[in-house]
């Protein structure tokens, strides 16, 4: 191809408004196909009509497995499926979730990089955590271009900021300028094709639903003393991951911040379970102390009173941790 004719766009929280701005600015004769992944619920509705309204005269389609894509058309990821590119057609993958989502932005970006290399323009818009950062880095590794919405312009600046930390962006501008920029970049000749690294190919295969085993995983990752929040399997740290990433034997993938966020919820739940058990223990021991007093066993009653007081102290300690440990803006009172 004589131009950059593959445009992939990813966004999450706060991405709808900038996406509308970009699509509204694109010309009808845009010489490129556009592929979009937004983090939407498995049963999400209304996104297709929203994107179609914003795209003006550009035809908008919900991605269908095996669909051959065309220039000047917009393709939106289907709920609960990874949107992947394979040659001149679309592939819907049911591989494991990445960063707790499916469709994942990283999956789309990697597949575009593998099959279309320097013809790809990747764009990361507003969103939480860091989906898209690793995929944008893969696009750059394969000779494509990386564009990022200016973090200060984003409602949720985390995703743009993580993308800028993971790779050297070719352009970082407010969303209002991205549409016009794309119109020009899409007409330029692509750079030279670069070799596709095996780790990028493997991660595309995982997103498509290919079986992954320990042998395959060890080629791209080293085991870590961490547990997968989704399946309980052993996580491995992806070698040279940008940003830091982990995968399990099943294929679930997490960036470090997404993993920390998921672990935070599990720790909070574990602490609340522990709090309930200790409070129940304190209640039981107190009843045993009361029973000892009623039966004239003063020494037994005193022993159980001491134990009940200890359990209440433990419960108060856990309660303070639950209330304060996950909010950096709140600090426990000095004792």
Q: Which residues are catalytic?
A: 12, 39, 131
Q: Which segments of the chain are extended strands (E)?
A: 6-11, 33-38, 60-62, 74-76, 82-86, 89-93, 120-124, 145-149, 171-173, 221-227, 234-238, 245-248, 253-255
Q: For the packed helices 133-141 and 158-166, what is the interaxial angle rounded to 10 degrees?
A: 30
What counts of helices (H) and strands (E) characterise the chain? 10, 13
Residue 316 token pair: 């108060």
d(CA 17, CA 19): 5
State whether residue 283 is helix, strand or coil. helix
Question: Pairing between strand 82-86 and 89-93?
Answer: antiparallel
Q: Check if the beta carbon of residue 141 is closer than 8 Å to that of residue 197.
A: yes
d(CA 172, CA 331): 36
Question: Over the range 245-269, which residues count as b (16 or more CB within 10 Å of their CB) and which as e?
Answer: bbbbbbbbbbbebbbebbeeeeeee
Query: Cα dihedral sign for 260, 203, 16, 122?
Result: positive
């Amino acid at each position: 191809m004589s131009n950059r004719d593959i445009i992939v766009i990813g966004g999450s929280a706060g991405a709808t408004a900038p996406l509308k701005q970009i699509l509204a600015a694109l010309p009808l004769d845009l010489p490129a196909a556009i592929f979009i992944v937004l983090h939407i619920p498995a049963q999400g509705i209304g996104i297709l009509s929203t994107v179609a309204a914003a795209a003006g005269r550009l035809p908008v389609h919900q991605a269908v497995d095996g669909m051959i894509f065309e220039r000047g058309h917009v393709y939106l990821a289907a709920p609960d499926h990874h949107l992947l590119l394979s040659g001149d057609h679309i592939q819907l993958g049911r591989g494991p979730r990445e960063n707790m989502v499916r469709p994942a932005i990283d999956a789309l970006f990697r597949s575009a990089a593998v099959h279309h290399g320097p013809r790809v323009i990747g764009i990361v818009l507003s969103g939480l955590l860091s989906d898209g950062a690793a995929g944008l880095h893969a696009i750059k590794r394969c000779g494509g271009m990386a564009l990022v919405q200016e973090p200060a312009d984003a409602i949720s600046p985390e995703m743009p900021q993580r993308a800028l930390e993971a790779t050297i962006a070719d352009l970082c501008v407010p969303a209002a300028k991205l549409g016009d920029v794309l119109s020009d970049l899409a007409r330029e000749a692509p750079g030279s094709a670069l070799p596709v690294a095996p780790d990028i190919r493997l991660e595309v295969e995982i997103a498509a639903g290919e079986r992954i085993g320990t042998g395959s995983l060890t080629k791209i990752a080293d085991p870590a003393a961490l547990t997968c929040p989704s399946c309980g399997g052993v996580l491995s740290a992806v070698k040279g991951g940008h940003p830091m990433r982990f995968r399990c034997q099943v294929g679930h993938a997490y960036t470090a911040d997404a993993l920390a966020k998921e672990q935070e919820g599990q720790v909070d739940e574990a602490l609340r379970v522990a709090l309930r058990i200790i409070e129940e223990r304190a209640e039981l021991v107190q009843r045993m102390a009361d029973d000892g007093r009623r039966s004239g066993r003063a020494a037994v009653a005193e022993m159980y009173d001491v134990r009940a007081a200890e359990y209440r102290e433990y419960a108060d300690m856990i309660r303070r941790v639950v209330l304060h440990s996950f909010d950096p803006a709140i600090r426990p009172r000095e004792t």
